[in-house]
A and B are shown apart, each in its own frame.
Chain A
Amino acid sequence: MSGHVSIRLASERVNHCVASNNELPQFYTPGEVITGTQDFMRGHGTYVEDDSLKASVAGVMQKVNKLICIRPLKSRYVGEIGDVVVGRVLEVQQKRWKVETNSRLDSILQLSSVNLPGGELRRRSAEDEQMMRKHLQEGDLISAEVQSVFSDGSLSLHTRSLKYGKLSQGVLIKVFPSLIKRRKNHFHNLACGVSVIIGNNGYIWISPQKQDIMVDDNREDIQNYEMQNA
């Protein structure tokens, strides 16, 4: 029995470069003039000064017709209605949960936009409010869809579909949201028995496929664990 230990020296470091042979797109840095002409529209990551369009973030240019945007490499998630996101519950508040979704502001999940047990058509009673922590606790992970975007940019989520809701056992992986493209389907079941949820916000959830069975099998363990930590 012996563990695997590897210590590499700094001089043995290998720096991988992904775009070694194909050409790199042009990078813009803040303050750099993108264009001096007036025929373009100002998009995200740009500003107008002295009749010219300048970049305000470091990144690559994206042009849609006349609209110029600069997309930074590292950015927080900017949500759009209909996006699938994975988030973590931070706080239980009055009639709503605060959810961390890697966007600039914390997102909101209203009590009215979750499916409660016992059918869709049901009035939210005072008991439901008191049961909120039973349903979703601080630290719990959920998958959800963006329902609407508030004027300040914060997101309102909903889980009104069977595919959304609380996530059980698995691993969360965080990547930059700019690496994830919007697709029709963000829920994938791989042939190897793994199910993956690729959130638009850069949070990826990887879990075994037979999740529900696993939870039932291990209910006792989970309860025991919760008892210990109570």
Chain B
Amino acid sequence: MPLDYRRFNGPEDSVSYKIYTKDYIKPYEERYNELLDENGLRKDGRALNEARSMFARTDMVSQAKGSSYVEFKKTKVVCSVFDPREIPHQNEFSQLGQIFCEVKFAPFSCPRKRRPHAPDNEERALSVALRQALEPTVCRHLFPNYQIDVFIYILEHDGSCLAAAINAAGLALADAAVPMYDIITSCSLAVIGDKVFVDPTEAEEHVAKTSLEDSNINHGIVTMSFLSELKQISDFTQVGSMDVECITKAMEVLEVECEKLVPNFQRIMVMNVIHNFEQRKRLDDEAKEREEALNKKMEEWKQLMSAG
């Protein structure tokens, strides 16, 4: 692991105090039982097949070409997209534009441990998955030899961070007026046994990732990004262990969930346009008012001049 010398790093062998708490070393069964209450509802009151409500806006970062902020309750993600620029350190001509993605966790974003500043394996894997998801939707032939930079900062991580990142990036690309074939949406789910948790939280993901060694139940996390108009899957990642039937079922559920997000995205984009028009209209009106006032004053002066 390369060390980051630009920052003052804490002692290497420090560990979070949380690993000494009872909460941390809870056995698997207890964790699993905590996920659902007696009514079959999840900890935050959602049903199993209910996704978290989304909050999203664009124009977070004024200096970026396009930017967005997406929030799924406690998962918060900022994305900014910058102007296309020539691909650095490249000697060959590339017909298609490239997308450069970087996903970064804030040091304090995760509940279990502090994130180091240097990019770790998980961040690199997320960056690759994000690029994989975005590449089919951007009209890359319009940017030969150019690269578009997409930066994702995960402020707070409470599960489904890849899905949130893809959603944020899709919105930011649209905000930056980068030509795209389709709106890209993404959603994830966690599988534990016969239960399917749509849009899982971090605690649910943690349980789904690990499983008892001797049991043979399905478990794992699936994230899918979908182009709803073209009906194409642009990225699909799965970890854990599932049979084929479970995967096909997950795919169908995710397809529906992804499509549910599309109207929201459309509304945000349309609202942006309306908002822009209104703003321009207001500016025009103001300019007109000023001009009228000026003209009036001119008239007054002219009269004064002629009178004087």
What residues make up the interface of A, taking CB atoms closer than 8 Å to B? 229-230
Contact = CB atoms under 8 A, between A and B. Distances in A.
B141 interface: yes
Nearest to B141: A230
A230 B140 CA distance: 10
A229 B95 CA distance: 9
A221 to B, nearest CB: 20
In order of increasing CB-CB distance, the 3 nearest A-B pairs are A230-B141, A230-B95, A229-B95
B38 to A, nearest CB: 48
Interface in B57-104: 95
Contacts of A229: 95
A182 B37 CA distance: 84
Contacts of B95: 229-230
Nearest to A138: B93
B127 to A, nearest CB: 26
3 contacts: A229-B95, A230-B95, A230-B141
Interface string B155-186: 00000000000000000000000000000000
Contacts of A230: 95, 141
Interface residues on B, range: under 10
A230 B141 CA distance: 7
Interface string B122-165: 00000000000000000001000000000000000000000000
B93 to A, nearest CB: 10
A165 to B, nearest CB: 25
A230 B142 CA distance: 10
B40 to A, nearest CB: 41
A229 B141 CA distance: 9
B261 to A, nearest CB: 28
A84 B95 CA distance: 33
Contacts of B141: 230
B94 to A, nearest CB: 12
A91 to B, nearest CB: 11
B136 to A, nearest CB: 12
A133 B95 CA distance: 14
A171 B141 CA distance: 29
B264 to A, nearest CB: 32
B144 to A, nearest CB: 10
A230 B96 CA distance: 8
A86 B95 CA distance: 26
B30 to A, nearest CB: 44
Interface in B203-238: none
Nearest to A229: B95
A230 B95 CA distance: 8
A47 to B, nearest CB: 38
B139 to A, nearest CB: 11
A229 B96 CA distance: 9
A86 to B, nearest CB: 25
A229 B94 CA distance: 12
A56 to B, nearest CB: 35
A94 B141 CA distance: 25
A76 B51 CA distance: 64
